Amino acid sequence: MNTLMHICCAPCANRPIAQLREEGHSVTGFWFNPNIHPYTEYQARKHTLEEYAKEIAMKLVIGGTYDLRGFITHVADNIDVPDRVLSAAKDAVLSALDYRRGHTGAMGHVDGQWQQTGTQAEWDDWRIAELVLTDTVPAYPELGMRVYGLHYELHTTTPEDVMLAGGMYMDEDGWVGGLNTLPPVLVFHITPDGEYVLLQSSIPNDVGRSSDNPMFAGLMAQAALENGLLAPSEVRPVDLYYMFYNNCGVFLNLIGAFSLEEQNSTLDAMATYAVGVEPSDNLLVNGLQRLEEYDYDLTEEGELAKIRLQNAWTRAQEEAER
């Protein structure tokens, strides 16, 4: 079978090409990366790939050219961030554009089924209006985390079909902002050699963009935990407390995947912290109540972690009463 594979750089292509060839595929590489910035990086990747293709006798198709003008015209003049951050922001906004091109932005019950409603708007352009460093996760300075606030706008040619909701707005030229398709921030980890690595994270729009908000600080700890930068026992109890409240199910499934020793240490620390919070404002109590009232799609490990948390909370209360 002949397979055409898009390639962003030679190191990323090494293993997939080998695997495909082992499975009997004839692989042709395809280079089309006008978004790579700066030009020196574009040239270096292209040259390395060309040399690699010769080395492994692979046909390589080169498509397009370096599109610096197109890159710059989509970015506000005052943005000054590392190239990797800007490239990640551009990729994120392009994914948001693709998403909007296939979604109306409205959902409802039609013939008894929950599905899209309304008319599909036409989207033809995008721009990054703001990209600025908002937080360095000061609770964990050894991790080298950096948080960049992202504000972008998409352009529509059919403004009459855009359904504005929440904090969305649209100017007279058809530029729409306040979209919640993407998280409000991009979270990076800086490796010892200075590389910016984009972390997978789920940050809601209502928790701010810095650790001044304790919920935000907790979610930064969660991002570090989910990406293997921290063990549960290394997370501050206050951050565990807010992580749990933000999404009880995600928290328990995440903690439940670790060793029993890690779980017990972590849940005991969080319960001990929560004992010091007034009952009327206690987010741990609130979360435990929600776990009984709603289905959080817990895994088997998450269900066991739930029981361990309930036991830890009981022990912490008994200890406080002594």
Q: Can you give the pLDDT at residue 171?
A: 92
Q: What is the pLDDT of residues 195-227, one digit of tens each?
A: 999 998 888 888 888 999 999 999 999 999 999
**Does pLDDT of 82 surpass 80?**
yes
Q: Strand 169-170 to strand 113-116: parallel, antiparallel, or no bridges (unpaired)?
A: unpaired
Q: What is the pLDDT of residues 109-135, one digit of tens each?
A: 667 777 767 788 899 999 999 999 999
Could you tell me the pLDDT band of residue 40, with boundaries at 50, 70 and 90? confident
Q: Can you give the pLDDT at residue 213?
A: 93
The answer to whether 260 and 309 have CB atoms below 8 angstroms apart is no
Tell me the mean pLDDT in the region 84-106. Answer: 88
Q: Can you give the pLDDT at residue 105?
A: 66
SS3 108: strand
**Does pLDDT of 264 surpass 70?**
yes
Q: What is the pLDDT of residues 134-167, one digit of tens each?
A: 999 999 999 999 999 999 999 999 999 888 887 8
Q: Does pTM surpass 0.85?
A: no
Q: Can you give the pLDDT at residue 77?
A: 79
Q: Can you give the pLDDT at residue 151?
A: 94
Residue 80: C-alpha distances to residues 76, 84, 133, 186, 289 (Å): 9, 12, 10, 15, 46
For residues 129 and 187, what is the distance between their CA atoms, to the nearest angstrom? 18
**Does pLDDT of 72 surpass 70?**
no
For residues 144 and 87, what is the distance between their CA atoms, to the nearest angstrom? 19
The answer to whether 243 and 253 have CB atoms below 8 angstroms apart is no
Could you tell me the pLDDT band of residue 250, with boundaries at 50, 70 and 90? very high
